[in-house]
Amino acid sequence: MGFVLAAAGSAVGLGNVWRFPYVTGENGGGAFLLIYLGIVFTIGVSVLVAELIIGRSTQLDPAGAFRKLAGGAWPLAGYMSIFTAFIILSFYCVIAGWTLAYTVKSLTGSVLNPDTEQAGSLFNAFITDPFEPVLYTALFLSITVFVALGGIANGIERAARVLMPALFAILLVLAARSITLDGAAEGITFFLEPDFSKVTWATFLAALGQAFFSLSLGMGAMITYGSYMNRHDDIAGSALTVTLLDALVAFLAGLVILPAVFAFGATPSAGPGLTFITLPSIFAQMPFGHVFSALFFALLAIAALTSSVALLEVVIAYFVDENGANRKKVATIAGAAVFVLAVPASLSLGVMSGFTIGGNVLFDAMDYVTNNITLPLGGLLVALLLGWVLRHKGEEEFLDGSTLAPALLGAWRFVIRYAAPVAITLILINGVGIL
């Protein structure tokens, strides 16, 4: 139970509420949702199982785990994980900072606006400011380091047990409000009715990246969490529970944001600001909107915290397990290093927007490289390790401790050995446009 909560805490976060709705909006809606769910419940859940097996069986950080299981060049996959965790955390805490800021600004009412266009201008003014968002990023990152340092992770977990159902409940209320807005029908159709004419390889790549990001896969977080599992903890059952919860929260968030986008006449492809410009307009039209809004963004910040702690843990576990470093020292230094990269990430949305990498501002480049390249690559390597290098040992581990596993073994073996490697390779090559 404790493990499932921690893993679900890592999975459910900004990926579900901030990233999923806008990526769905950018990729045409219903068809993307379908492809996304298809990937989540085949490749996603299977790779999650594989990562938990790697962690539980070695009780080590990603690099150590790859070395122990396979040796050779495999630890490189672990190094890539640590690099990815570091980059993701650097932009994750910027967005998480926004949620903190919106908690405060909801209370004063300064961001609530029934006019989405104005809500958008307010949002833009905020994120392009050179100081304010950076301060909130620093605040969020400090809380993350504090949690990792103090080992109050237990406290967070206990709190999350109450707070996450609360977040879920608010999402339900918001979804009810959103789908009954005038003009919401068009958004519901957009979200739920697949239009395959818009599907390209890029759609598949976006869905694959989003699936890995949302389930915290392909970058060692679930290997690290798996390493804290007990020998005979149920892997298949935990993985299914976490996957279901994660998909459900994303789906609900989509049902909140997208109908409102259409009702308010905004564009679904507006990008990373979508959640932040739509929600304040919904709240502005609700009784006690200020209170609800502050509560919502506070809960979202806490959901982000249980994810950012997982990201930082990947970095900490590596230096502690591999180099015997002092946990407190590593957490502090890593936090500071993340901040050094987070500052330009935040500024790249404003004063530093002139500086681009391959046509992307730094923030977008960091998001693209991790979600669309290193995460899928990490997932591919995990699938190859379990499906081909370890084979029988992997299957023994799969069965150990789970009453559910025997019935699922055939399906898991097929996905991890054939379906996942082939699909990920095809999507990566075509989606990135390598060939």
**Binding segment for ligand PHE among 73-81, 197-205, 215-223, 274-282 (CB under 6 A)?**
215-223
Q: Does 210 bind ligand PHE (CB under 6 A)?
A: no
Q: Does 401 bind ligand PHE (CB under 6 A)?
A: no
CA gap 118, 88 in Å, rounded: 30
**Sequence-ordered list of residues with C-beta below 8 angstroms from that of 373, at least 6 positions apart, any chain:** 428, 432
**Binding segment for ligand PHE among 8-16, 56-64, 133-141, 234-242 (CB under 6 A)?**
8-16
Contact 341, 66 (CB under 8 A): no
- Nearest to ligand PHE of 243, 281 (CB atom): 243
Q: Does 370 bind ligand PHE (CB under 6 A)?
A: no
Q: At what angle do helices 45-58 and 235-263 cross, to 10 degrees?
A: 140
Q: At what angle do helices 45-58 and 375-384 cross, to 10 degrees?
A: 70
Nearest distance, CB of residue 200 and ligand PHE, angstroms: 24
Q: Which has the closest alpha carbon to 144: 315, 262, 382? A: 315
Nearest distance, CB of residue 313 and ligand PHE, angstroms: 9
SS (H, E, C) 148-177: HHHCCHHHHHHHHHHHHHHHHHHHHHHHHH
Q: Does 226 bind ligand PHE (CB under 6 A)?
A: no
CA gap 339, 144 in Å, rounded: 12
**Sequence-ordered list of residues with C-beta below 8 angstroms from that of 259, at least 6 positions apart, any chain:** 178, 179, 181, 184, 185, 187, 188, 191
**Sequence-ordered list of residues with C-beta below 8 angstroms from that of 405, at least 6 positions apart, any chain:** 234, 235, 236, 398, 399
> 3-class DSSP state for residue 283?
helix
**Binding segment for ligand PHE among 128-136, 138-146, 216-224, 325-333 (CB under 6 A)?**
216-224
Report the site for ligand PHE in 38-97 (rule: CB under 6 A): 88
Nearest distance, CB of residue 344 and ligand PHE, angstroms: 21
Nearest distance, CB of residue 238 and ligand PHE, angstroms: 15
Residue labelled with tokens 């084979």: 391
- Nearest to ligand PHE of 264, 296 (CB atom): 296
Nearest distance, CB of residue 302 and ligand PHE, angstroms: 12
Q: Does 9 bind ligand PHE (CB under 6 A)?
A: no
Letters for 295-314 (x = contact with ligand PHE by CB under 6 A, - = none) are: ------------x--xx---
Give the number of C-alpha atoms closer than 13 A to the C-alpha of residue 241, restricted to the C-beta side. 15
**Binding segment for ligand PHE among 11-19, 32-40, 120-128, 413-421 (CB under 6 A)?**
11-19
Calculate the alpha carbon distances from 285 to 31, 113, 127, 222, 223 in Å. 30, 8, 24, 40, 43
Q: Does 219 bind ligand PHE (CB under 6 A)?
A: yes
Select from 6, 7, 11, 45 the one that contacts ligand PHE (CB under 6 A).
11
Q: Does 16 bind ligand PHE (CB under 6 A)?
A: yes
**Sequence-ordered list of residues with C-beta below 8 angstroms from that of 30, at least 6 positions apart, any chain:** 189, 190, 191, 192, 193, 194, 195
Q: What's the chain's length in residues?
A: 435
DSSP 36-80: HHHHIIIIIHHHHHHHHHHHHHH-S-HHHHHHHHT-TTTHHHHHH
Report the site for ligand PHE in 93-132 (rule: CB under 6 A): none
Select from 6, 14, 39, 256 the one that contacts ligand PHE (CB under 6 A).
14
Letters for 309-348 (x = contact with ligand PHE by CB under 6 A, - = none) are: -xx-------------------------------------
Q: Buried (b) or exposed (e) across 78-105, using 16+ Cβ within 10 A? A: bebbbbbbbbbbbbbbbbbbbbbbbbeb
Q: Does 254 bind ligand PHE (CB under 6 A)?
A: no
Query: What type of residue is 249?
Result: V
CA gap 360, 80 in Å, rounded: 22
Nearest distance, CB of residue 165 and ligand PHE, angstroms: 17
Q: Does 372 bind ligand PHE (CB under 6 A)?
A: no
Nearest distance, CB of residue 212 and ligand PHE, angstroms: 8
Select from 103, 113, 178, 214 the one that contacts ligand PHE (CB under 6 A).
214
Q: Does 36 bind ligand PHE (CB under 6 A)?
A: no
# chain residues binding ligand PHE, by CB under 6 A: 15
- Nearest to ligand PHE of 57, 307 (CB atom): 307
CA gap 69, 56 in Å, rounded: 12
**Binding segment for ligand PHE among 14-22, 42-50, 65-73, 336-344 (CB under 6 A)?**
14-22
Q: Which residue is nearest to ligand PHE (CB)?
A: 15
- Nearest to ligand PHE of 103, 371 (CB atom): 371
Query: What type of residue is 231?
Result: R
- Binding residues for ligand PHE, rule: CB under 6 A, are 10-11, 13-16, 88, 213-214, 216, 219, 221, 307, 310-311
